[in-house]
């Protein structure tokens, strides 16, 4: 058996972020911590967010999971750290739309940067939830941080954006 020559799922950018995740590891300073699970495969992420006024000062996370979920959260941190909550939401919305595009999306590279590498993932319904795990956790953490809820939230299952599986 030979190696398949082209795999739209495992793009080089994804493998690079998977092998060398950015901003990885849980850091002590945070305003909200959330724990999300993907019940279909058992992937989990613990994610912390520190706000500085309206700005995402830091996003940290524990580095365990499949390549898609790990690379996705790594790319996400690069995209959103330093951005305002509103700008981060714009990126989030664009990524969610791409993941729901069933392979038909035309991502805006100016908004999504490295995250355009995940276009192929939208063709694999079982993996969309992996790619969205960290993003849904960040959205949850943002809402909690803004509401002043620092303590770890109970397990929240990520279902939005995924196909039935």
Retrieve residue 6's tokens.
């082209």
Min dist CB 130 to another protein, Å, is 6
Between residue 16 and residue 55, which ones bind another protein under the rule CB under 8 A? 18-19, 40-44
Residue 89's Cβ-count burial label (10 Å; 0-12, 13-18, 19+) is middle
Between residue 130 and residue 149, which ones bind another protein under the rule CB under 8 A? 130
Site membership for another protein, residue 1 (CB under 8 A):
yes
Between residue 81 and residue 110, which ones bind another protein under the rule CB under 8 A? none
**Is 40 or 100 the residue whose CB approaches another protein more closely?**
40
Choices 52-60, 61-69, 79-87, 132-140 (CB under 8 A): range interacting with another protein: 61-69
Q: What is the DSSP letter of 85?
A: H
Choices 5-13, 97-105, 133-141, 154-162 (CB under 8 A): range interacting with another protein: 5-13
Tell me the β-bridge partners of 52. Answer: 55
C-alpha 71/C-alpha 17 separation (Å) is 5
Pair 13, 109: CB distance under 8 Å: no
At 144 the three-state DSSP class reads helix
**Is 91 or 162 the residue whose CB approaches another protein more closely?**
162
């Amino acid at each position: 058996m030979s190696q398949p020559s082209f795999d739209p799922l495992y793009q080089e950018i994804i493998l690079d972020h998977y092998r060398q995740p950015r901003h990885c590891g849980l850091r002590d300073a945070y305003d909200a911590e959330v724990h999300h699970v993907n019940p279909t495969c058992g992937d989990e992420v613990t994610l912390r967010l520190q706000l500085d006024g309206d700005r995402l000062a830091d996003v940290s996370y524990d580095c365990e999971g499949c390549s898609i979920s790990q690379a996705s959260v790594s790319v996400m941190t690069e995209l959103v750290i330093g951005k305002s909550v509103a700008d981060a939401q714009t990126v989030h919305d664009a990524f969610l739309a791409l993941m729901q595009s069933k392979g038909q999306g035309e991502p805006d590279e100016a908004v999504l940067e490295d995250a355009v590498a995940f276009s192929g993932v939208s063709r694999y319904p079982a993996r969309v939830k992996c790619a969205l795990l960290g993003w849904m956790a960040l959205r949850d953490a943002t809402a909690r941080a803004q509401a002043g809820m620092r303590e770890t939230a109970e397990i929240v299952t990520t279902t939005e954006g995924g196909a039935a599986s």
